[in-house]
Amino acid sequence: MVDPKILETFPNPAPGRDYVIEHTHHEFTSLCPMTGHPDFADITVRYVPDKVCVELKSLKLYFHAFRNEGSFFEAVTNTICDDLGRVMKPRSLTIVSRWKARGGFTSTVTAEWNAKAIRAKRPR
């Protein structure tokens, strides 16, 4: 299991403004839990920060930690979304994973984090 404590943040330099940050990592690798073969993906992190932004070296190390993890595409994408959402608490966050062809299929998985929706779903 990948440890989200790898992720580091820094203060948002413009917290009074909504603006979009987009990072794409082209070297993402994880393992297929069925075959143990490597799966390759481009992972795009798109978010509107609130108080903090994610530091890129820590994000790279976090992504590299998946290299030996057996996990389905859907689980990888949702784990990344949940971990980044919990660490940054952004105003909004979208993770898009675009998986390279395996068995003739390419796959794209999108997961979204919305801080307002998350707060609304919490039990009172």
By residue count, the chain amounts to 124
39 is catalytic: yes
pLDDT tens figures, 108-120 = 999 999 766 555 5
50 is catalytic: no
- Choosing from 32, 42, 50, 82, which is the catalytic residue? 32
Which residues line the annotated binding site for substrate? 54-56
Between strands 21-31 and 38-48, the pairing is antiparallel
Predicted model pTM:
0.91
Choose the CATH number for 4-121 among 2.60.40.10, 3.30.70.2740, 3.40.50.10440, 3.30.1130.10: 3.30.1130.10
- Choosing from 3, 18, 39, 50, which is the catalytic residue? 39
Residue 124's pLDDT is: 45
Which residues line the annotated binding site? 54-56
Report the C-alpha dihedral over residues 21, 24, 29, 31, rounded to 10 degrees.
Answer: 60
pLDDT tens figures, 86-101 = 999 999 999 999 999 9
Give the pLDDT mean for 39-57: 98
